[in-house]
Amino acid sequence: MINKVEIANINTSKLPKLNAEKNKELFIRMKNGDEEAREELITGNLRLVLSIIQRFGGRGENPDDLFQVGVVGLIKAIDNFDITLDVQMSTYCVPMIIGEIRRYLRDNNIVRVSRSIRDLAYKVLQSKEKLTKETGKEPTVEEIAKDLGVEKEDIVVSLDAIQDPISLQEPVYNEGNDSIYVMDQVKDKKNTDENWAENITISEAIEHLSNKEKSIIDKRFFKGRTQMEVAAEIGISQAQVSRIEKNALMHIKRFYK
């Protein structure tokens, strides 16, 4: 998807880019009934859609489909944007586009969720928003259940059912050039001491590592710790653990070449 130039019959390399001043001018013209200004607004902000659909890569979805769904979200945002508010257009459009794409992914998920569960989930979200406005704080599951007259267990099930699946390669934290991914948060129960010994002897390669690298490799791959657990044990940040682990693995790979 990242390297695809033509999406939905549109050459993305030639998409125009509008600045904030031009966007405002076109919005004013559009509100006065200028349809050409509306079309120019849509075309001039397609790069925003293109940048957003990159976040949904790796799910096996057709990029053309995601782009077209994202454009629907962009059009809705443009048609509903209030230029009198002190808000950047992109600030308003981004969540609208993301929301449209997520709805599409939920409705087309391989694991089908029944209509009744989805409907309940949307009612729960509406109730949550309403109660938050009324009380000034986020409601509990019990309060939402009481408001809707349903069992709290049904609420939990419905919300779980509409959650988007995420890739293990999706970054969850960045510190400088170091990224932490979802897979780094998962405890490894398979790479035990015995399994590694059966497949490859790495003791000699490990001897070439520093003491800190040895400790991290041991905890991560022989004792099945997550990076977060290792960081807490040895008193450094998770990003540092990630960096040291990657360097150690590179040293081991070079040793076997």
Residue 22: other Cβ atoms inside 10 A: 14
- Lowest mean pLDDT across 149-153, 231-235, 241-245: 231-235
**Residue 174: in which H helix or E strand, if any?**
strand 171-175
Pairing of strands 171-175, 10-11: unpaired
223 or 7: which leads in pLDDT: 223
* pLDDT tens, position by position, 205-241: 777 788 888 888 888 877 777 787 788 788 888 788 8
Mean pLDDT of 117-123: 82
Query: How would residue 138 be classed by pLDDT, with cut points 50, 70 and 90?
Result: confident
- Give me the mean pLDDT over the 140-145 stretch: 87
Tokens encoding 179: 């990224």
Contact 93, 47 (CB under 8 A): no
Give residue 214's pLDDT. 87
DSSP output for 33-96? T-HHHHHHHHHHTHHHHHHHHGGGTTS---HHHHHHHHHHHHHHHHHH--TTSS--HHHHHHHH
Convert 225-235 to b/e letters by CB count within 10 Å (16 or more is b). Answer: bbbebbbeeee
pTM: 0.42
| Closest by CA position to 211, among listed 234, 180, 188 | 234
Q: 121-125, 140-144, 189-193, 247-251: which has the minimum mean pLDDT?
A: 189-193
Q: Tell me how far apart the alpha carbons of residues 225 and 235 are, in angstroms, rounded to a whole number.
A: 14
The predicted pLDDT at position 196 comes to 42
pLDDT over 80 at 252, yes or no: no
Q: Lowest-pLDDT range, 12-16, 67-71, 80-84, 181-185?
A: 181-185
Q: How confident is the model at residue 167 (pLDDT cuts 50, 70, 90)?
A: low
pLDDT of residue 257 exceeding 60, the answer is no
Which DSSP helix (H) or strand (E) runs through 178? strand 178-181
Among 152, 151, 161, CA closest to 116? 161
